[in-house]
Structure 1
């Protein structure tokens, strides 16, 4: 496996993790990060392959569960306006 360039941000993050005493070396930090990524990707795959199709089937069997597109657009627009007002 070749060496990887982390960049200054992640090099600093690894350094802080080592200083915390939680990890003994940079490899442990990277492996911990990769385990989290692996878990995240597995959860994403479950969501895409199991949860979404199940919700789609549920909606097809009971259309009253759906939300009209105009309602969704309106909610997004309201949120966008509220967020813009807060940013000012």
Structure 2
């Protein structure tokens, strides 16, 4: 098996997970992380290959069901500022 180098912070995190009893050993921690990464990648691929094309077809069939670019950016800006305010 390939050897993997971890940063000190990553090694501490892995050790804490094992010491807390969340995982049997370091390999289990890494395997859990890889499973989560795989789930995220699978969801991203589904979004890109299925959900976006389906929504695009809906918008082509009924352009009025969409929002303007200005509205979309205003909504994103408001969400961003709201998130920043919550972090303070």
TM, length-normalised to structure 1: 0.82
Quote the Cα distance in structure 2 between the aligned partners of 1:81 and 1:28. 38
Quote the Cα distance in structure 2 between the aligned partners of 1:69 and 1:50. 22
1:16 match: 16
User: How many residues are matched?
Assistant: 88
1:61 match: 61
The answer to whether 1:73 aligns with 2:76 is no
RMSD over aligned CA atoms reads: 2.4
Bigger radius of gyration, 1 or 2? Answer: 1
The answer to whether 1:40 aligns with 2:40 is yes
User: Alignment partner of 1:59: what SS?
Assistant: helix
Q: 1:13: how far off?
A: 0.6
Quote the Cα distance in structure 2 between the aligned partners of 1:84 and 1:38. 29
Q: Which runs of 5+ in 2 are unaligned?
A: none
Q: 1:71: how far off?
A: 2.1
TM, length-normalised to structure 2: 0.82
